[in-house]
Structure 1
Amino acid sequence: MFKHRVTASATTAAPTEVVFALIANGATWPDWCSSVDAFSLEREGAGDREGPGAIRRFAFRGRTTRAEIVEVQPPRLLRYRLLSGLPFFGYEGRGTVSAGRIRWDLAFHVKVPGRGRHWHHYMEDFLNEFVQELSAHAERQATGQQPPARPAGHIVHPATDKGADQGGRRA
């Protein structure tokens, strides 16, 4: 079975530490990634809350994914594997930050025969948007600029957004 590989990268003027802090803290993802609606931590990692062994849950594009953190090397590397939520197996992700560059690599097999091209393009589009939004948010954060407002009705995690109601929706 064919293993799909998707890579996206972006340049950034933000310091490596600022970019990595956003990657390492899943609770920030709904703030800067327009496709991520909510985050929760299912299980804390060994040693660090979002370190190796942690299981993160992300709601995005009508799906909920679960991913286990495999390796963290601040401020440069985060590796994880998908546990559930997408029709893939053998899914591995790797985010790296170095000297003005963000790179994200995915490798996965598609469970449903004949759907590989669809899912490859879907993940390619998502990943390109993801790294561009990460770069832009990190740059705004590094310069003290306020991020743009989220769309009305956008779902966020109530614990990370003080403006959210009990259902996680923004007023």
Structure 2
Amino acid sequence: MRARTAAPADAVYALLRDGASWPRWSPLGSFELVRAGAGEPEGLGAIRLFKTGGVRSYEKIVALEPGRRFGYALERGLPLRDYVAYVDLSPRDGGTDIHWHSTFEPKIPGTGWFYRWFLGSFIRRVAAGLARATA
């Protein structure tokens, strides 16, 4: 999914790093830091829990490149295997292009199409919320 904001990449990256901010600008319901990461609370290896309705998604931070890239892997919460998502930030014309993309394998055969559709729709809303929050 792609979005654009007038904000600089560092401002967008700061919101991505701040898990507590996600419920303010995305459809996610609540945030909890389950385990601190290397060297800082939301550093590499940190486990963040997002609750939305009855879904509890445990996500591990796997990539931190200031102003450029944020990545996380789903530890548990959805019937998916090897879910990894990256948010790539590219400065352009005084603003930032946001590219949010993920890969995964469904645990239940035949459900891949559904999760591609569902997560595509959900991530589209999350990326749009991030762009609005930083505009």
TM-score normalized with structure 2 length:
0.93
Residue type at the aligned position of 1:30: P
Q: Of residues 85, 90, 95 in structure 2, which corresponds to 1:93?
A: 85
Q: Of residues 15, 19, 26 in structure 1, which corresponds to 2:12?
A: 19
User: 2 CA distance for matches of 1:70 and 1:114?
Assistant: 28
CA offset at residue 62 of structure 1? 2.6
1:63–1:87 Cα change, 3 Å: same
Residue type at the aligned position of 2:120: E
Q: Of residues 35, 39, 42 in structure 2, which corresponds to 1:43?
A: 35
Report the counterpart of residue 71 of structure 2 in structure 1.
79
Report the counterpart of residue 103 of structure 1 in structure 2.
99
CA offset at residue 27 of structure 1? 0.4
TM-score normalized with structure 1 length:
0.74
Residue type at the aligned position of 1:45: G
CA offset at residue 61 of structure 1? 4.3
Q: Of residues 61, 65, 68 in structure 2, which corresponds to 1:69?
A: 61
- Cα deviation digits, residues 56-103 of structure 1 (max 9, x gap): 000124301001111211121111111000110011111111212011
CA offset at residue 18 of structure 1? 1.1
User: 2 CA distance for matches of 1:61 and 1:130?
Assistant: 16
Greater Rg, structure 1 or structure 2?
1
Which sections of structure 2, spanning at least 5 residues, go unmatched?
A: none
2:121 aligned with 1:125: yes
Report the counterpart of residue 30 of structure 1 in structure 2.
23
Identity, in percent, stands at 36
User: 2 CA distance for matches of 1:105 and 1:92?
Assistant: 9
User: 1 CA distance for matches of 2:111 and 2:45?
Assistant: 30
Which sections of structure 1, spanning at least 5 residues, go unmatched?
A: 1-7, 140-171
